[in-house]
Homo-oligomer: A and B are copies of this chain.
Amino acid sequence: MQSKWNKTCVPNGVALKDTGFGYTLSIIGGKYKMIILYWLSENDVMRFNELKRNIASISYKTLSVMLKEMEADGIVERKEYPQIPPKVEYSLTELGRSLLPILNMMCDWGELNQKVDV
């Protein structure tokens, strides 16, 4: 089962972020990245405050930081219209879309195994 792991994912003593898994985690991990991914997968194009409105609990700063990171990671595209008032549109790149199967798989596993005890 763990064919890929052995070679490249978790060499002894290597930092998590230098592994394939860790790299993926750095991109979709964190509290909001995948929620943003979700909304962008649903709507194709969204503006800043539109995202903010849909992800009620996120702060401006965090949303801003997340989008910037996701843009740097190449999974989100930012299109700015130089006008007053400003208008910026966010959308998923192809790379961003290629993550959706993983997210779906994690959703499935979570749904299947989530415990409601407590």
Contact = CB atoms under 8 A, between A and B. Distances in A.
Oligomeric state, in copies: 2
A97 B77 CA distance: 36
Interface string A52-80: 00111100000000000000001000000
Chain A interface category by residue count: 35 or more
B105 A1 contact: no
A42 B2 contact: yes
Nearest to A57: B13
Given A1-B104, A4-B108, A109-B99, A10 B22 contact: no
State the 9 A-B residue pairs at the shortest beta-carbon distance, nearest first.
Answer: A20-B110, A23-B110, A20-B107, A20-B111, A24-B110, A24-B106, A9-B107, A10-B38, A23-B114
